[in-house]
Amino acid sequence: MPEKNYTITRTLNVTPEGYELTMCLTTSHWEGDKHVAETVTMKTLRPHANAITAKEIAEVVANYEMA
């Protein structure tokens, strides 16, 4: 079975619609002489009226990492 590499990227952006937390999980491996990469992107949008806290960000990230 080929060895897979994982990269997790998290960003928090303030948009006109609210706070957007994005997490990307990228996996890559070799299949023979071909390099294969797949990316899964998950986004959470919180309207400005519902303030987001550092604790809530940590909980969302932890939930994604467990999934």
| Residue the block writes with tokens 């491996």 | 29
Alpha-carbon distance of 5 to 37, in angstroms, equals 9
pLDDT tens digits for range 33-59: 998 999 999 998 888 766 667 777 777
Return the domain boundaries, the chain.
20-66
Q: What tens digit of pLDDT does each residue of 4-44 get?
A: 788 999 998 888 888 888 999 999 988 899 989 999 999 98
